[in-house]
Structure 1
């Protein structure tokens, strides 16, 4: 019974570590739990069966971990759960000739502090002068810095 518990602890610990490496980003409960389960299984083997079986348990846990990692990476199963989208959209370039300081418009979305503003029937990204500006508020262009329109509410 003790041998079964030791084997299950090590196997479940390795499964948790594989989940951590391939699915869950960062260091989470899965990694900590996996390490604790493997360490607990190794400790139990030393405690119940002595040094020789404990050494064999450590060796087999390391070999089994390596083989599991190689097989998991080689089988490409992680590609099924991986995000495969590409961003192909482009940022609309601001044409300096169309928008000038003093132009008035209306907020299409809330500026917090960035948002969308409609100026002369052109919708552009804009930044407020600091305060949040609600949707459908009239604004005036107070500046253009590095192709970013700076507006303030009227």
Structure 2
């Protein structure tokens, strides 16, 4: 009888892991179902139909209880990310920026990052790979509300 209880416990733990930790129809879920099914089979085979039926009913009740517990709103609230995104989409007047304007990168462009052009900071995209912070950049193209830059070549 202890073996049946162990199979049920292992099956429930694997099902819980499948639902909460590694979602999808994966190995843990399949092994959990095999473990629960094995407990039913073992109970029927070793202890007869009465015990097998009881174990099957217990498995179904425990699976339903586990499903209800997992699907409750409070369970998901503990797992969900509840931060609000307060960033804004960058809109700018294309008349204030022009191809050839220069500025300095604030963050690393890999290839996206932030650069200060004039008095404002803009999200820009590098056309020439990674650009380190503090590098002088030049606007090469403005297209679809995106600003494309490249490092300014310094004459020595």
Q: Normalization by structure 2: what TM-score?
A: 0.78
Deviation, structure 1 residue 87: 1.7
Distance 1:137 1:71 in 2: 54
- Alignment equivalent of 2:23, drawn from 12, 21, 26: 26
Other structure's SS at 1:95 match: coil
Q: How many residues were matched structurally? A: 151
Aligned residue in 1 for 2:55: 57
- Alignment equivalent of 2:68, drawn from 54, 60, 70: 70
Cα deviations by residue, 1:42-97 (Å, 9 ceiling, x for unpaired):
33223422455434433331232113322454483443343322223222322212
- Structural mapping, 1:29-44, within 5 Å: 30-44=28-42
Deviation, structure 1 residue 106: 1.3
Q: Structure 1 pair 133/72, CA: closer, same or farther in 2 (3 Å)? A: closer
- Structural mapping, 1:73-92, within 5 Å: 73-74=71-72, 76-92=74-90
Unaligned runs of 5+ residues in structure 1 are none
Other structure's SS at 1:86 match: coil
- Structural mapping, 1:1-154, within 5 Å: 3-21=1-19, 23-27=20-24, 30-50=28-48, 53-74=51-72, 76-154=74-152
Backbone CA RMSD of aligned residues: 2.6
Deviation, structure 1 residue 20: 3.3
Unaligned runs of 5+ residues in structure 2 are none
Deviation, structure 1 residue 113: 1.1
